[in-house]
Amino acid sequence: MPDQAVVPQLRVLITRQQIAERVAEMAAQITRDFAGQSIVFVGVLKGASIFLGDLARQVKLDATFDFISVSSYGNANKSSGEVRLNKDVDESMADKNIILVEDILDTGLTLSYLRKVFLAHQPRAFKIAALLDKISRRIEPVHADYTGFTIPDEFVVGYGMDYAERYRNLPDICVLPPDML
């Protein structure tokens, strides 16, 4: 059954095939960049979980996983810029090659906060892998070292990303129309 049948208002923006091809390219680049070294994938819960799983399985390096959880004060659509760390990493980040895995780089407020937190731990390397980049929304000057797709300023769900915790399990990345927000 096509997934659109579940929620007919959703419009597919990036198909599962396009995601798979791009994630494979990103994984190949990470494999080249860190050849001969170990890396730690740090996923930002919950949105990055599916992306991290797909990406990490194609990276041909010695790797471990860790996860953090953050929330920004404000409501679902508007961030206040204040970020709270709900769950920190379990392992020490000192002298490690960290790849922070995030679903969407939007205003950049979350990642600029996380970048400060991680750099304070003195990793050997710190890179950001973001599946999506809404570049037109940027407030803080953050860029990802590995970017999947640049997308317009629309609210997307699926492939891990939610609206009010729903739609994370859709295999394609879909646009949620404004009247459903």
Active-site positions read 106
Label each residue of the chain as H, E or C.
CCHHHCCCCCEEEECHHHHHHHHHHHHHHHHHHCCCCEEEEEEEECCCHHHHHHHHHHCCCEEEEEEEEEEEEECCCCEEEEEEEEECCCCCCCCCEEEEEEEEECCCHHHHHHHHHHHHCCCCEEEEEEEEECHHHCCCCCCCCEEEEECCCCCEEECCECECCECCCCCCEEECCHHHC
160 binds Mg ion (CB under 5 A): no
- Candidate list 47, 123, 148, 160; residue touching Mg ion; CB under 5 A: 47
- Of the candidate spans 8-16, 24-32, 55-63, 98-106, the one that interacts with ligand IMP by CB under 6 A turns out to be 98-106
The residues in 75-114 that bind Mg ion, with binding defined as CB under 5 A, are 103
Q: Is 109 near ligand IMP (CB under 6 A)?
A: yes
Of 43, 56, 68, 103, the residue at the interface with ligand IMP (CB under 6 A) is 103
Which one of Mg ion, ligand IMP, none is in contact with 105 (Cβ closer than 5 to 8 A by kind)? Answer: ligand IMP
